A and B are shown apart, each in its own frame.
Chain A
Amino acid sequence: MGSQLNSEKTTAVSINDDGVTLRLKAPITLPVEAESICPDCFVGCQQSEILALPVFCGRRRKMLGDIFSVSGEASDRITVEGDLTHFKRIGQGMSRGRLTLRGDGGMHIGAYMKGGEICVEGNTRDWTGAHMTGGMIRIRGNAGHFTGAAYPGEIRGVNRGTIIVHGDVGNETGARMRRGLIVVEGHTGECTGAGMIAGSVFVFGKLGARAGAGNKRGSIVALGETAPMLPTYQYQCRAQFGFLGVYLRQIRKWGIAVSDDLLKGSFRRFSGDVTALNKGEILIHD
Chain B
Amino acid sequence: MKVHVNMDICLLHGQCVIAAPEIFSFDDNGDLHWVEVIDDSQVADAEAASDACPEQAIILG
A binds B: no
Residues of A at under 8 Å CB distance from B?
Answer: none
Residues of B at under 8 Å CB distance from A?
Answer: none
